[in-house]
Amino acid sequence: MTKDIRVVIAGALGKMGIETAKAIDQDNELELVGLVDIRANGEKFSDLTGIRQIDLPVDSDLDLLIERTKPDILVDFTNPQAVYNNARMALANKITCVIGTSGLNEVELKQLERLAMEKNVGVAVIPNFAIGAVLMMKLSQEVAQYFPDVEIIELHHDQKMDAPSGTAIKTAEMIKSNRQQMPVRNTREFEKIAGARGGEVDQIHIHSVRLPGLVAHQEVIFGGVGQSLRIRHDSYDRVGFMPGVILTIKKISQMQGLVYGLEQLL
């Protein structure tokens, strides 16, 4: 069977990279043509991971990999220090990008959007590929018009490099778009320990927890007079992100410009 979309993965030896490689390999419309990770030096993916059905080598140089494999899509699960340069290089070569790595700022997003439009390709920046997490964010956005007082607790594994998570920031942005302007609260409040009240995005406090044993979890807590409402999503296994990853690859391959958030593709 001829496959339509050629895909390379950056950060292929990370936990999300490994799951994505397996999911792409099993899809009838996608062809996994290249893998790259700075921790590798040409060893076979099957030898490094024990996944015998994928015997591609894992390169350490993304530029050379792209030149050799001529992919349609780059999927990036690297780190906040590498993702922007990876995406710029791919877009400059007219390669559509799917970015699951957190850490891009607003200036970088605008520059990637401009470059994608210039090259007539797409770039999808997805804070969370779990469809349940997207529904959590959309529900939180709806609730905000009735319960404007809200805080967010996000919990991730202890290897996550950035805090707060992209999902928490995106949730706060969506809540802000649908709630009334909030007055300044509790001016006498002070932190006996710096950071005890978490970070703040548009008057929404975000608290980050990092512990071994966790994967990706978020709770949005709304408070009202005499009541509260909690919306929570839990990811227990990264395989739960894969339907969203595959959907994003297929949808963004037919689009141009920037798409931010999986909800834009559902």
Q: What is the CATH number of the domain that holds 195?
A: 3.30.360.10
- Is the domain of 22 the same as that of 118? yes
CA distance 121 to 183: 42
44 given a catalytic annotation: no
Q: What is the DSSP string of 123-149?
A: EEE-S---HHHHHHHHHHHHHTTT--E
- Is the domain of 121 the same as that of 9? yes
207 given a catalytic annotation: no
Which is catalytic among the residues 3, 138, 160, 250?
160
- Is the domain of 110 the same as that of 160? no
Which is catalytic among the residues 156, 170, 176, 207?
156
- Is the domain of 195 the same as that of 250? no
Tokens of 253: 């391959």
Query: Is residue 74 within 8 Å of 50, Cβ to Cβ?
Result: no
- Is the domain of 95 the same as that of 135? no
If one counts the domains in the chain, the total is 2
Tokens of 44: 């076979």
CA distance 124 to 261: 8
Query: Is residue 100 within 8 Å of 260, Cβ to Cβ?
Result: no
- Is the domain of 117 the same as that of 16? yes
Q: What is the pLDDT along the chain (266 residues), one digit of tens a residue?
A: 456 899 999 999 999 999 999 999 999 999 999 999 999 999 999 999 999 999 999 999 999 999 999 999 999 999 989 999 999 999 999 999 999 988 889 999 999 999 999 999 999 999 899 999 999 999 999 999 999 999 999 999 998 988 999 899 999 999 999 998 776 666 678 888 999 999 999 899 999 999 999 999 999 999 999 999 999 999 999 999 999 999 999 999 999 999 999 999 98
Q: Which domain holds residue 147?
A: 131-235
Entry pTM:
0.83
